[in-house]
Amino acid sequence: MQRLSCLRPLRLTSPRPLQPALQASRNTLPSLLTLKRSQASHPTTTPPPPSEKTTDFEVRYINSGPEHADTSSKPTTRILNASLDFVPTYGWTLKALEQGAASLGYPSITHGLFPRGGIELVEYFVQSSTRKLRGELGQHDLASMKVTAKIRTACIARLKMTAPYIKRWPEAVALMMQPQNLPNTMKDLGELMDEMWHIAGDRSVDMNWYSKRMMLAGVYTSTELYMTQDKSPDCEETWAFLDRRLQDVGTVGRTTAEVSSIVNFGVKSAYGFLQSRGIRGPFA
């Protein structure tokens, strides 16, 4: 395994100028709860109801689960996949999309297929990583693990997918946190949480269904941000940070205040991280 350089301790404070932004972002958190329990068994492949407005981008990727026809031959999918090779050099940008298209022999103007720009590349990576997660965990004996160990294994497997792009991940976070992109960001995060809990064997149907996903979202996002600055060998400090966060979740009593505290920890981490990189957060 390639040794990864990972980071300095993350400042988790949120400066006063970002307070209105934090409040606005909290208002988006309930969107995690809009996922219906009927979708929990395999949320990443369930199309939205016909009554909901669906963008062309969502149509391309919602219908790409294992029960649908193979989409690898679609030019847009091939370009997005090829463009990931250029993210370390060009970031999550139209330039990366242009290079990805060119590498497949498409004309440079093909990047015009992605009118929303680099965020489409970010969302493709996030969504395809969620779909790959179950397969990545096939090498582990999950049946012999306790729930917390399963969640930890799933988190690490997903974080390792981000590792090749970790130096460019701050740019992805900045794109995902823009107001116009937040709905898709929260939806994709909710689907990842659903997949992790489903892999862990969670079948709850009460309020715990919501609280578990909300708390894991806070744990995962804060760990992902920590990883962007970790400079320890093989991200050892990141895994230790993850263990501490999972321990915190395991000891809380699941009250509304405790759930809110854990979720807000992830939100504040995101805003503190963006400001430390000189990146304007949403609503700023």
Q: Is residue 4 part of a domain?
A: no
Burial of 204 (0-12, 13-18, 19+ CB in 10 A): middle
Q: Is residue 179 part of a domain?
A: yes
Return the CATH number at 88.
Answer: 1.10.357.10
What DSSP string runs through 26-66?
HTTGGGGGGS-GGGTTSGGGPPPPTTS---HHHHHHHTTST
Q: Is residue 91 part of a domain?
A: yes
Q: Residue 66 is part of which domain span?
A: 19-276
DSSP 145: S
CA gap 130, 135 in Å, rounded: 10
Residue 161 near residue 95 (C-beta atoms within 8 A): no
Please give the radius of gyration of the chain, using alpha carbons only, rounded to the nearest integer. Answer: 18
User: Of 87-91, 140-144, 251-255, which one has max mean pLDDT?
Assistant: 87-91
Residue among 82, 126, 88, 77 at smallest CA distance from 101 = 82
CA gap 52, 50 in Å, rounded: 5
Q: Give the model confidence (pLDDT) of 61-77 as tens digits.
A: 333 433 333 456 789 99
Q: Is residue 2 part of a domain?
A: no
Give the number of C-alpha atoms closer than 13 A to the C-alpha of residue 172, restricted to the C-beta side: 26
CA gap 176, 182 in Å, rounded: 6
Residue 281 near residue 275 (C-beta atoms within 8 A): yes
What amino acid occupies position 225? L
CA gap 214, 116 in Å, rounded: 28
Q: Mean pLDDT across the stretch 15-24?
A: 41
Q: Mean pLDDT across the stretch 182-186?
A: 96
Residue 21 has pLDDT above 50, yes or no: no
* Res 37: pLDDT: 43
Of the two residues 213 and 175, the one the predictor is more confident about is 175
Provide the CA 17 distance to its chain's centre, in angstroms: 26
Q: List the structure tokens of 279.
A: 């990146």
Q: Which residues pair with 230 in a beta bridge?
A: 7
DSSP 19: H
Percent of the chain scoring above 70 in pLDDT: 62
Residue 117 has pLDDT above 80, yes or no: yes
Q: Is residue 8 part of a domain?
A: no
Least-confidence region, from 55-59, 77-81, 251-255, 279-283: 55-59
CA gap 78, 101 in Å, rounded: 8
Evaluate if pTM is beyond 0.85. Answer: no
Q: Is residue 254 part of a domain?
A: yes
CA 193 → CA 27, 78, 119, 131, distances in Å?
19, 27, 21, 12
Q: List the structure tokens of 187.
A: 């939806």
CA gap 45, 41 in Å, rounded: 10
Residues contacting residue 1 through CB under 8 Å, at least 6 positions apart: 234
Burial of 160 (0-12, 13-18, 19+ CB in 10 A): middle
Q: Is residue 123 part of a domain?
A: yes
How many CB atoms are located within 10 Å of the residue 243 CB?
13
Burial of 210 (0-12, 13-18, 19+ CB in 10 A): middle
Q: Give the model confidence (pLDDT) of 25-54 as tens digits.
A: 444 444 444 444 434 444 444 444 433 343
Q: Is residue 7 part of a domain?
A: no
CA gap 26, 8 in Å, rounded: 27
Number of domains in the chain: 1
Q: Mean pLDDT across the stretch 240-265?
A: 66
